[in-house]
Chains A and B, each alone.
Chain A
Amino acid sequence: MSRWFVRPSTLRRRGVMGLNRRNAQLIAPLNPRRYYPLVDDKLRTKELALEAGIAVPELYGVIATNHDIRHLPRLLARREDFVIKPAHGSGGNGILVVTGRMQNRFRRGSGRLMDLEALGHHVSNILSGMHSLGGQPDRAMIEYRVRFDPLFDPISYEGVPDIRTLVYKGYPIMAMVRLPTRDSDGKANLHQGAVGTGIDLSSGVTTRGVWHNRIVDQHPDTGHPITGLQIPGWERLLVLAARCFELTGMGYLGVDLVLDRDHGPLMLELNARPGLAVQLANDEGLEHRVRAIDALPPRKVPPETRAQQAMDRFHAAARPPA
């Protein structure tokens, strides 16, 4: 019986948050609607981050109208590889990764080739709002393709693995590595089939993985273990995540960071409605951690201190050895 579902009382004891509670308790009071454009528009986010001195992938160009698509060859002339994405995209939709060129054609992350016309069509789809929230007209941004840290090579399938950190009132409270799989088509979203791996906040070591709401210890495509990995520069990463709070003023924020082998941690995007699968990956509910932060004295503290306090406070839940 319990293989199929869990009792609500168990969930409540573990402090697991449901979507209704997340919406009512975290998003509605802490994320004022007027701040949403700051995170929904990735161009705005990027500008804000640059002003605050937070490292982001370099922006190569923006295409705002169908007319501008003819500038595409010029914009891409000197670029061997790049990423095209909608400024208002959600859930990794509409992101096109080009890893290299072959004469006039572009090689996509999946290995398939596509010509300039197809590229232009993709941009035009983005502009017409196909991938944006609510379908409103959008802009396409072309930016630096992240070369992720070799640490993740054996445990990701195409795509870019990223580190999702939940930041509550400026304090990192939970984090996971999101590893693309064959199922997720190179995307790092858990509901599309990516693997989420919990991270012990105090040490930056991965704990266990969750894939399609099931517990896994290996990457489903490569078979490599995904537990016990040390994320390099963990403290710096947490500080970076904590600093994003000041960027937007949102009290419940999902910060997506990537580890670039040349540029170190880069902030990819922010999310005003981060999902709840992170709880499964960490084998712990959010409720307790939220309470712990609420119990802190309401003083303004710098991001460095907040990251440090999070590291001190949130150890991975002790689990019986597998």
Chain B
Amino acid sequence: MKRLHLPLLILILSGIALGIFYHKAVNLGFPLLPAQQTDNWVVEARVSFEPTGGAVTARFFIPENPPGMALLEEHFISRGYGLTTTPTGPNREAVWTTRWPSGPQAVYYRATVYPLEQPRADQAPYPGPVAQPELEEPYRSAAEEVVQKVRERSADITSFATVLVRDMNHPADENMQLFVSATDSDREKVRTAIQLLAGARIPARMAHGIQLTDRGNDLQPETWLEVHNTRSWVAIDPDDGTVGYPDDFLVWWRGDTPPVRLDRARDAQVRFSVAHNYQNAVEVARQKADLLDSRMADFSLLELPVQTQNMYRVLLLVPLGAMIIVLLRNVVGLQTFGTFMPVLIALSFRETSLLGGIILFSLIVSLGLAIRFYLEKLKLLLVPRLASVVIVVILLMLALSILSHNLGIEHGLTVALFPMVILAMTIERMSIVWEEHGPADTLRQGIGSLAVAAVCYLVMINPYIDHLFFVFPELLLIVLALTLLLGRYTGYRLTELVRFRAFGGGER
């Protein structure tokens, strides 16, 4: 019985996993492959706030007829709240109200959107020329100068706005410099542009939206400028004056107001997250499950909030990485720093791309190692020294980011995505191995760690594996079974065949 225990356990685990997998894939029709064309997006906004006592009203702008996009469906997720949606000015507003809130509150707005093949002809009534703003000197004459100069170089309203925005980004004369400064945020730029456009009696407004990227969490709304060319509103990029919104851009609200306004509450926070929508194929499967009265689909990850879903897409791949580490350490015999550190490095490679990640990682670690050896000279105690290494690592990351930004290398910015405690621990471990076992061992373990991390990364970014584990999380049981099986492997490691090669020599 004792000998059969593990094989039985492995069999049971794989049996359960394969059973559920088969049922979901064949009977319920969950898709085995990632959808070929996923041009649907699920966008979620999480609005959180802190009630200050009494009945709370939270007003939140929600998209309406966003240019180039169509809203498929909307969900409002809030417990114990009354909800109405009302148009206010150019926007639509969701109003949540509750009488007795307690503790921090969070409400969700979730929408499915898809990009339109043919943009709608957005006819908007011309609001008429706007009144010129009342400016004081010297701004008044400066504004007139600016308008005059821009008008000379433009043909119509749209090109007027484009030229104006370009001038604002590269102010050539002192008239323009009165209005703009290099540190202006997009929001301030748009505000100034609206004022200057008003000087030319052109109606303009501010628009806010988010760029849709797969698995985007904590997205920041971007601010755009819209001008009315007497037929419709035209979008202008406040950074370079380009006309029109980019692809996959969802305009959320308009006007120079924050997206959330609260009564009797404070600390409003909005977090936008986006994911490619897999629900279409899965939706069919779920409806089928309802018909078959199967509880299976109720336990799907797709029921969770999008932000949590995005997190699990990553988390679900960590066990796979752990199994690969077992394989590479116990069967191949690679040496690594720390047992599961390579998985964490691999996770950060997801953000930095492989080559850039490896280069940055090696750079930071070797620089940190040099500094660590210098700190050794100062004869510090272990914990303060480790803390100093952490501080220096942060400074190095900062320096690298700034340097590479100035050189125009995008990759340098992603260095911040490395978990810096991991970097500091790596440096500390490396330096100890260096001192005790010499540079050769350090290099071997360092290369081993990077190689393992690279392998983990390559497996983890595979879209098929990603999709399979997300839609069929029960496959983790198979990973568990395989890991248990590897736990009983007592054969030689590949590296031992090299290590013990002297035994082969005596044979002939």
Within the assembled complex, what's the spacing in Å between the Cα atoms of A23 and B487?
A: 11
Is there contact, CB below 8 Å, between B491 and A215?
no
Give the shortest distance, in Å, between B173 (CB) and chain A (any CB): 64
Residues on B with beta carbons closer than 8 Å to the beta carbon of A39: none
Is there contact, CB below 8 Å, between A213 and B502?
yes
Looking at A91, A118, A125, the one whose CB has the most chain B CB atoms below 10 A away is A125
A14 located at the interface, meaning its Cβ lies under 8 Å from any Cβ of chain B in the complex: yes
B503 located at the interface, meaning its Cβ lies under 8 Å from any Cβ of chain A in the complex: yes
Q: Mark A269-292, 1 if CB is under 8 A from B, else 0.
A: 000000000011001010000000
Assuming the contacts A5-B497, A121-B379, A129-B382, asked whether A20 and B502 have C-beta atoms less than 8 A apart, the reply is no
A77 located at the interface, meaning its Cβ lies under 8 Å from any Cβ of chain B in the complex: no
Within the assembled complex, what's the spacing in Å between the Cα atoms of A130 and B502?
A: 35
Is there contact, CB below 8 Å, between B379 and A10?
no
B483 located at the interface, meaning its Cβ lies under 8 Å from any Cβ of chain A in the complex: no
Looking at B379, B498, B500, the one whose CB has the most chain A CB atoms below 10 A away is B500
Give the shortest distance, in Å, between A180 (CB) and chain B (any CB): 14
Within the assembled complex, what's the spacing in Å between the Cα atoms of A259 and B24?
A: 70
Q: Which residue of A lies closest to B330 (CB)?
A: A20
Is there contact, CB below 8 Å, between B436 and A93?
yes
Assuming the contacts A10-B504, A283-B506, asked whether A18 and B382 have C-beta atoms less than 8 A apart, the reply is no
Residues on A with beta carbons closer than 8 Å to the beta carbon of B436: 91, 93, 131, 192
Q: Considering the complex, which residues of chain B in the window 475-492 have a beta carbon less than 8 Å from any beta carbon of chain A?
A: 488-492
Is there contact, CB below 8 Å, between A319 and B506?
yes
A19 located at the interface, meaning its Cβ lies under 8 Å from any Cβ of chain B in the complex: yes
Is there contact, CB below 8 Å, between B490 and A11?
no
Within the assembled complex, what's the spacing in Å between the Cα atoms of A129 and B436?
A: 14
Within the assembled complex, what's the spacing in Å between the Cα atoms of A118 and B377?
A: 10
Give the shortest distance, in Å, between A314 (CB) and chain B (any CB): 18
B23 located at the interface, meaning its Cβ lies under 8 Å from any Cβ of chain A in the complex: no
Assuming the contacts A91-B436, A192-B437, asked whether A10 and B507 have C-beta atoms less than 8 A apart, the reply is yes
Q: Which residue of B lies closest to A213 (CB)?
A: B499
Q: Which residue of A lies closest to B440 (CB)?
A: A193
Is there contact, CB below 8 Å, between A7 and B504?
yes
Residues on B with beta carbons closer than 8 Å to the beta carbon of A210: 502
A21 located at the interface, meaning its Cβ lies under 8 Å from any Cβ of chain B in the complex: yes
A8 located at the interface, meaning its Cβ lies under 8 Å from any Cβ of chain B in the complex: yes
Give the shortest distance, in Å, between A117 (CB) and chain B (any CB): 8
The 8 Å CB contact of B500, one of A16, A20, A191, A193, is A16
Is there contact, CB below 8 Å, between A24 and B490?
yes
A78 located at the interface, meaning its Cβ lies under 8 Å from any Cβ of chain B in the complex: no
Assuming the contacts A5-B498, A280-B503, asked whether A192 and B490 have C-beta atoms less than 8 A apart, the reply is no
Within the assembled complex, what's the spacing in Å between the Cα atoms of A129 and B325?
A: 28
Is there contact, CB below 8 Å, between A213 and B501?
yes
Q: How many residues of B contact A (CB 8 A)?
A: 30
Is there contact, CB below 8 Å, between A10 and B330?
no
Q: Considering the complex, which residues of chain A in the window 88-140 have a beta carbon less than 8 Å from any beta carbon of chain B?
A: 91, 93, 118, 121, 124-125, 128-131, 135
Is there contact, CB below 8 Å, between B501 and A2?
yes
Within the assembled complex, what's the spacing in Å between the Cα atoms of A201 and B503?
A: 20
Is there contact, CB below 8 Å, between B381 and A124?
yes
Is there contact, CB below 8 Å, between B502 and A25?
no
Looking at B330, B491, B501, the one whose CB has the most chain A CB atoms below 10 A away is B501
B258 located at the interface, meaning its Cβ lies under 8 Å from any Cβ of chain A in the complex: no
Q: Which residue of B lies closest to A137 (CB)?
A: B382
Is there contact, CB below 8 Å, between A8 and B490?
no
Residues on B with beta carbons closer than 8 Å to the beta carbon of A5: 497-498, 501, 504
B505 located at the interface, meaning its Cβ lies under 8 Å from any Cβ of chain A in the complex: yes
Within the assembled complex, what's the spacing in Å between the Cα atoms of A183 and B440?
A: 11
The 8 Å CB contact of B502, one of A18, A93, A214, is A214
Residues on B with beta carbons closer than 8 Å to the beta carbon of A93: 436
Is there contact, CB below 8 Å, between B491 and A21?
yes
Give the shortest distance, in Å, between A181 (CB) and chain B (any CB): 12
Is there contact, CB below 8 Å, between A191 and B503?
no
Residues on B with beta carbons closer than 8 Å to the beta carbon of A118: 379
Within the assembled complex, what's the spacing in Å between the Cα atoms of A91 and B438?
A: 13
Residues on B with beta carbons closer than 8 Å to the beta carbon of A213: 498-502
B26 located at the interface, meaning its Cβ lies under 8 Å from any Cβ of chain A in the complex: no
Residues on B with beta carbons closer than 8 Å to the beta carbon of A14: 503
Residues on A with beta carbons closer than 8 Å to the beta carbon of B502: 6, 210, 213-215, 280, 283
B187 located at the interface, meaning its Cβ lies under 8 Å from any Cβ of chain A in the complex: no
9 residue pairs from A and B, CB less than 8 Å apart = A5-B498, A16-B500, A18-B490, A20-B493, A21-B491, A21-B492, A24-B488, A130-B382, A283-B502
Given contacts A23-B490, A192-B437, A214-B502, 7 further A-B contacts (CB under 8 A): A5-B504, A6-B497, A7-B497, A10-B503, A10-B507, A11-B496, A11-B500
Q: Which residues of B contact A (CB under 8 A)?
A: 330, 333, 379, 381-383, 432, 436-438, 441, 488-493, 496-508
